[in-house]
Chains A and B, each alone.
Chain A
Amino acid sequence: MSDSALPMPGGGVRDVTPERPSTGHTVAGYPVRETFLEKAHSWVVTVDHKKLGIMYIVYSLLFLVVAGIEAMVIRIQLAVPHNTFVSPQVYNRVFTMHGTTMVFFVGMPILIGFANYLIPLMIGARDMAFPRLNAFSFWMTALGGILLYYSFIGGVGLSNAGSAPDVGWFAYAPLTSKAFSRGHSTDYWALSLTISGVGSIGAAINMIATTICMRCKGMTMFRLPLLAWLYVVQAALILVAIGPLTAAQIMLMVDRYLGGHFFDTQAGGSAYIWMHFFWIFGHPEVYVLVLPAFAFANEIIPTFSRKAIFGYPAMVAASVAIGFVSLGVWAHHMFTVGMTSVSNAFFALSTMLVAVPTGIKIFNWIATMWGGKIRFATAMIFCVAFVFQFLISGLTGIILSVAPVDWQLHNSYFVVAHFHYVLVGGILFTIFGAIYYWYPKMTGRMLDEKLGKIHFWIFLIGFHLTFDFMHIPGFLGMPRHIYTYEPDRGWNTLNMIVSCGAVFQSVAIAIFVYNLVYSYFKGAEAGADPWDAWTLEWATTSPPPAYNFATEPIVGSRRPLWDLKHPDDLDSQWE
């Protein structure tokens, strides 16, 4: 089999037939199917970026379901005022776990999983720069998630119904000190995130080193697919952002276990400095989550509009600009903590400024579709919805950047609606799009388009029911992180509508999961290039062989397959 013939740089092949080939072994010369145990073993010990990418994605989808159930618990509790579906103690754990899980064990891993899968393929490389570091990073992230969920039973013992973290996903000091959080819940929070943070840094190092050092011949940085550019910026942000979080968590654990005083106001420490450290991490973190959403849109929208992305250099510049500016906006989460008027004004300005490159990207996507011949495959309609929804969420972000307005709306349901609009309406929609787009490449089978459209419409209705109406209780004074609310504030009907939308979203996700599983066995065969696309991952089989490309590709423009399909209209003459 060609799997045992490894092409060498500079020509020739090397025979790498393993003693026990991982894709099957023979008995008396006849190939015998791998046992399940052998197959599982090959996944556990793999350093192949494709397998690790798929593991990241499957892991995240499992946690998506878990965190989605947590969201349903929240919405059931809040559907009517003074509800007793869960106690305040349980509710506080559920909303903390929902936020922490979604950010660290759904968002980050699924996006890093796509990066792992796609970047080497898109740059014509055989694997990531550091395959073993890749595997290490995955397993650290996985361990973090398991440790976090172990907290439900591990902290105080089963008889006490566990002690998952209940301090909110940003865990403000001194609520997290031993004085106010007496059990182990905060420790699970800090430790699990520190461990997965190591995994994230490993993944980021890999992404940058791969993109800079492993590009195939002819692929200059300015011929990189925009997805690769956005992941470079995202990886750089991970490197900048995770450090402060790790440092702050180390400080928290020193306080809790070694009697330290970092956040001990009695001893001169400061609760306020935790806020700075956390948000110095927290704000770039949300850009870590959103830049890959842009990456997916940058690949999907051109393919289905049948046009090159409009303004490639501007898109690169805007992405880099977003990365830089996003490092200087963190205190817009702290407009209400009593900073000086000059500080508040500075952070209002920097936050407004980040809207400029972000807006440019939105205009470029619309301009890409303009004059095209748009095909509304499921992947595309998710990205079209993303463009509109991301526009709205950017605008509510502008509303919040006006500090005196934020003094009212901070920590209210307006903010919850705003960031869910970005995370769900922006990021999750493009993740769905990416799955519909690249699932054929990963599995060799197409996802069912009819089920996909049903998934889209039901999810869209649910999303808008929940998150459009969620802005209103914010305007009406409803703060976040509350397990119940007073019935005479005018929030009742709105909360009920919001909760109903969650039901639609759950149904849609169920249909989506069914589609994923059904299509794996019964989906139509995909072939190498089902979407008639232009980047290198479509130049190899679906799924790709272990070594990705039989010979190292050589490229002459940003769209190597366009050049191949249109030899009379090479891209490079226009770039």
Chain B
Amino acid sequence: MSAATPAIPHGATNLPAKDSPWILPSKGKVGMYCLIFAETTIFAIFVVAYIYYIGRSPFGPQPKQVLEVPILASICLLSSSLTIWLAERALHKRAMGQFSLWWGGTIALGLVFMIYTVLEWKKLIYEDGLTVSTNLFGTTYYCLVGLHAFHVIVGLIMLSLTLLFGFMGKLEARHTERVEVLSLYWHFVDAVWVVVFTVVYIVGR
């Protein structure tokens, strides 16, 4: 450290008052929105590919023949957005019992969705003979739905860790914002499902 550090003037007239508030957005939320933005572009490309390739498989099982609309699973997943919102509200009031209930409910609903996906894929692979390499429909279907499922799994792991911390009593008031950031991610996963569901099971069948 060589030359003296020049001092920033505090007496100049254009500076804000020392005790005036200076509120900036939360970096956790901004960071998560950025991540969501980037992930959206990845999903967008898989969706575009899916749509472009609708009806272009010259052989192999076609969507109408093998796909069943996953109504129950979708209701579960989309309701989990409601339960996670309720969990957040409980957390704000520091009602930890309620928080664990709703948060656990979110995880349960997400698990139901994943179990349904596993059963659906089991049927597709073993009964209908549709795999990623069977035909173009198989490739695009498994990649798009699989990418979403992967994001659900990551989300479930994070949610479960949070629930664990809650049970251990380690979830303090200062961690509330991080929980909010995580729920943002979960809402994103649900929103993506709305798009994937529409494209795969409604438009594409």
Q: Interface of A with B (CB < 8 Å)?
A: 129-130, 133, 201, 204-206, 208-210, 212-215, 217-218, 235, 239-244, 246-248, 250-251, 254-255, 258-262, 264, 267-270, 273, 277, 280, 444, 525, 527-529, 539-542, 545, 550-551, 553-557, 560-561, 563-564, 567, 570-573
Contacts and interface: CB of A to CB of B under 8 A. Distances in A.
Main secondary structure of the interface of B (DSSP, over half): loop
Contact of B38 (A214, A239, A528, A563): A239
B71 to A, nearest CB: 28
Nearest to B36: A239
B14 A243 contact: no
Interface in B98-153: 131-133, 135-136, 138-140, 143
Interface string B1-21: 111111011101111101010
Given A247-B46, A564-B9, A213 B16 contact: no
15 contacts: A133-B31, A212-B24, A212-B27, A218-B16, A241-B41, A242-B41, A258-B132, A260-B132, A262-B143, A268-B56, A269-B53, A270-B52, A529-B6, A570-B12, A570-B13
A553 to B, nearest CB: 5
B169 interface: no
B12 A251 contact: no
Instruction: Give 5 closest A-B pairs by Cβ, nearest first.
Output: A259-B133, A243-B41, A556-B14, A247-B45, A213-B27
A217 B138 CA distance: 55
Contact of A213 (B26, B37, B46): B26
A267 B14 contact: no
A220 to B, nearest CB: 10
A244 B41 CA distance: 6
Interface in B16-68: 16, 18, 20, 22, 24-27, 30-31, 34-35, 37-42, 44-46, 49, 52-53, 56-59
A385 to B, nearest CB: 32
Contacts of A255: 139
B37 to A, nearest CB: 5
Nearest to A238: B38
Nearest to B1: A541
Nearest to B40: A243
Contact of A212 (B2, B5, B25): B25
B108 to A, nearest CB: 30
Contact of A254 (B6, B30, B132): B132
A526 to B, nearest CB: 8
A262 B139 CA distance: 7
A567 B30 contact: no
A441 to B, nearest CB: 12
B131 to A, nearest CB: 8
A239 B37 contact: yes
Contacts of B52: 270, 273
B27 A209 contact: yes
A542 B5 CA distance: 10
A208 B25 CA distance: 11
B63 to A, nearest CB: 13
A554 B143 contact: no
Contacts of B136: 261-262, 264, 267-269
B27 A268 contact: no
B31 A553 contact: no
Interface residues of B, number: 50
A66 to B, nearest CB: 29
A266 to B, nearest CB: 9
A368 to B, nearest CB: 22
B31 A130 contact: yes
B6 A214 contact: no
A408 B9 CA distance: 60
Contacts of A572: 14
Contact of B24 (A214, A525, A541): A214
Contacts of A247: 41-42, 45-46, 49
Contacts of B42: 243-244, 246-247
Given A261-B133, A277-B45, A560-B8, A240 B15 contact: no
Contacts of A554: 8, 10, 15-16, 18
A244 B40 CA distance: 10
Contacts of B9: 563-564, 567
A41 B139 CA distance: 46
Contacts of B13: 556, 570
A29 to B, nearest CB: 21
Contacts of B143: 250-251, 254, 260, 262
A254 B5 CA distance: 56
Contacts of B25: 212-213
B4 to A, nearest CB: 8
B132 to A, nearest CB: 5
Contacts of B138: 261
B135 A261 contact: yes
Contacts of B35: 201, 205
B53 A525 contact: no
Contact of A564 (B2, B8, B26): B8
Given A260-B139, A268-B53, A556 B44 contact: no
Given A205-B31, A541-B2, A563-B14, A217 B53 contact: no
A259 B131 CA distance: 9
Contact of A129 (B3, B5, B27): B27
Nearest to A539: B6
A541 B5 contact: yes
A217 B16 contact: yes
A209 B44 CA distance: 23
A560 B15 CA distance: 10
A468 B59 CA distance: 53
B124 to A, nearest CB: 15
A247 B47 CA distance: 10
B5 A528 contact: yes
A290 B11 CA distance: 40
Nearest to A200: B38
A241 to B, nearest CB: 8
A439 to B, nearest CB: 16
A213 B24 contact: yes
B111 to A, nearest CB: 26
A209 B30 contact: yes
B16 A556 contact: yes
Contacts of B8: 539, 551, 553-555, 560, 564
B31 A209 contact: yes
A567 B3 CA distance: 22
Nearest to A269: B136
Contacts of A444: 2
B38 A213 contact: no
A258 to B, nearest CB: 5
Contact of B12 (A260, A541, A567): A567
A320 to B, nearest CB: 16
A413 B161 CA distance: 56
A556 B138 CA distance: 60
A535 B15 CA distance: 15
